[in-house]
Amino acid sequence: MLIEERTAADGDLTALLDAAFAELVARYGPEGRSQVRAGARYLVASVDDRAVGCGAVQPVDSGTGELKRMYVLPEYRGRGIAKSLLSALEELAAGLGYRRLRLATGVRQPEAIALYERCAYVLTEPYGKYVDAPLTRCYAKALAQQ
């Protein structure tokens, strides 16, 4: 498996983001797609030259980043790709100087919740647009500094 940074305009990344959004619509209905902030950095995981997963770190403030767009194609799940991608995103965030990562996921994504909890993310109070979103769960994790 190869994990590398890609730009927002990358075709493989765009296809993965479209697939992720389609899955969210299937699980939650047609809620709008939230925008990723300027300055977000994307990683793509590839297996045998096929892009199979993605994720992003976007800036919140000088010490905090937010994980966005974590996704692995269904046929590649259960192979440790999401955990490797999450680890690489944490490493990227720490390298950018973030001391903490936060994220939002949903109650209809038990596999995502299990991953984040296995990887030491702690349930936190909802933030931003998630404050009044009963199907959302927010997590955070302190990062080891490089």
- CATH at 49: 3.40.630.30
Nearest to 53 by CA among 111, 93, 12, 114: 12
Enter the pTM of the model. Answer: 0.94
Burial of 9 (0-12, 13-18, 19+ CB in 10 A): exposed
| Kind plus residue range of the DSSP H or E element containing 113 | helix 110-118
The model's pLDDT over 56-88, given as tens digits with 9 standing for 90+, comes to 999 999 999 999 999 999 999 999 999 999 999
Query: Which pLDDT does position 144 carry in this prediction?
Result: 84
CA distances in angstroms from 8 to 13, 39, 40, 117, listed in the order given: 7, 10, 9, 28
Q: How many domains does the chain have?
A: 1
- Cα–Cα distance between 116 and 123 in angstroms, integer? 9
- Cα–Cα distance between 1 and 85 in angstroms, integer? 10
Structure tokens belonging to residue 7? 């730009």
Any residues with CB less than 8 A from the CB of 125 and at least 6 apart, and which? 138
Domain that holds residue 111: 2-142
Q: Is the dihedral of CA 102, 107, 108, 113 positive or negative?
A: positive
The model's pLDDT over 6-56, given as tens digits with 9 standing for 90+, comes to 999 999 999 999 999 999 889 888 765 566 778 899 999 999 999 999 999
The model's pLDDT over 90-128, given as tens digits with 9 standing for 90+, comes to 999 999 999 999 999 999 999 999 999 999 999 999 999
